[in-house]
Amino acid sequence: MIDAAELVDNDFLRQFELKVEDDMAKIEYSLQDRKIFLTKLVIPEGITSEEFENDFLTLVFENISERNISVVPTSPEIAKFIRRNRKYKKMLPVGIRI
């Protein structure tokens, strides 16, 4: 499991970052009003574990949940994560269905 302290919200570059050895996993986003649009998931090529992706996304969603912000997934990988983890569906804004 990944440690939550390792997750960085780089608001200047508008991305969540997680250092992995000599590389970085990241999720790019756009923040508008009380909604965060998760636009792109980038996992380093050397990591093929689906468990890593799941743990990384879980950390990001927990971080967003603490801020009480709605999530709009525009990346297919992130939409798939929400479909598999139904507890995060409540974070979708009204009218958005996955």
Q: Tokens in use for 45?
A: 């090529």
CATH T-level fold of 4-91: Aminopeptidase (3.40.630)
Q: What is the residue-level pLDDT of the chain in tens, covering all 98 positions?
A: 576 668 999 999 999 999 988 899 999 999 998 999 999 999 998 888 889 999 999 999 999 999 999 999 999 999 999 999 999 999 999 888 88
Task: Check if the beta carbon of residue 71 is closer than 8 Å to that of residue 38.
Answer: yes
Task: Check if the beta carbon of residue 27 is closer than 8 Å to that of residue 40.
Answer: yes
Q: Angle at Cα 85 formed by Cα 84 and Cα 88, nearest 5°?
A: 135
Q: Are strands 35-42 and 7-10 parallel, antiparallel or unpaired?
A: unpaired
Where along the chain do its domains lie? 4-91
Predicted TM-score (pTM) of this structure: 0.90
